[in-house]
Amino acid sequence: MIRDIDRILIARGAISDRVRSLGEAITKHLEDVDADQEIALVAVMTGSLIFVADLMRHLPMKIRIQLMTASSYIGKSTQTNSDPVIGKLPNVKDMHVLLVDDILDSGKTLTRIRGKLQELNPKSIQSCVLLRKKLPSAMEVPCEYVGFEIEDEFVVGYGLDYDGYYRNFPDIGVICP
């Protein structure tokens, strides 16, 4: 184990099982979409990189992968900014959108991205996050698919980082204070 990680919060096997079940639930919902209608999986990089790669392998349908960036943290902070920085938005007009992100904590980033995507006139938008913190602000944000609900701890691994490090850690761990 990496010495900066205090403890494993969610082991890789549990993550794998949950990603599979999320894929099954999303597939069940999207199988009713007409084959002529496009489905866009919009991945919020870089934190969702590993989650998206694993999740899309469980979506046996024709989908278009769209990437975008958003940042709530600056440098070595473990606290979110008041105003997330949103990168270039993908073209999702007339598409069914599945917005995928790594973690829902303050709710500001997902709310802002969803609002911006809605302005582009998609047919529908649904959100999927690997983790949602048990915070009032996070629980109020619409999110149709949630992998795990966690306490308000700073976590790394499986794509989540601290100052750009630990994304490659295969489990989700709590970083040392």
Convert the chain into a string of H (helix), E (strand) and C (coil): CCCCEEEEEECHHHHHHHHHHHHHHHHHHHCCCCCCCCEEEEEEECCCHHHHHHHHCCCCCCCEEEEEEEECCCCCCCCCCCCCEECCCCCCCCCEEEEEEEEECCCHHHHHHHHHHHCCCCCEEEEEEEEEECCHHHHCCCCCEEEEEECCCCEEECCECECCECCCCCCEEEECC
Active site residue 105: yes
Query: Is the per-residue pLDDT at 77 higher than 70?
Result: no
Q: Which position among 54, 101, 102, 105 bears the catalytic label?
A: 105
Mean pLDDT calculated for residue range 46-60: 95
Whether CATH 2.60.40.2130 fits 12-23+36-72+80-150: no
Q: For residue range 97-155, what is the model confidence (pLDDT) as tens digits?
A: 999 999 999 999 999 999 999 999 999 999 999 999 999 999 999 999 999 999 999 99
pTM listed for this prediction: 0.90
Domain extent listing, the chain: 12-23+36-72+80-150
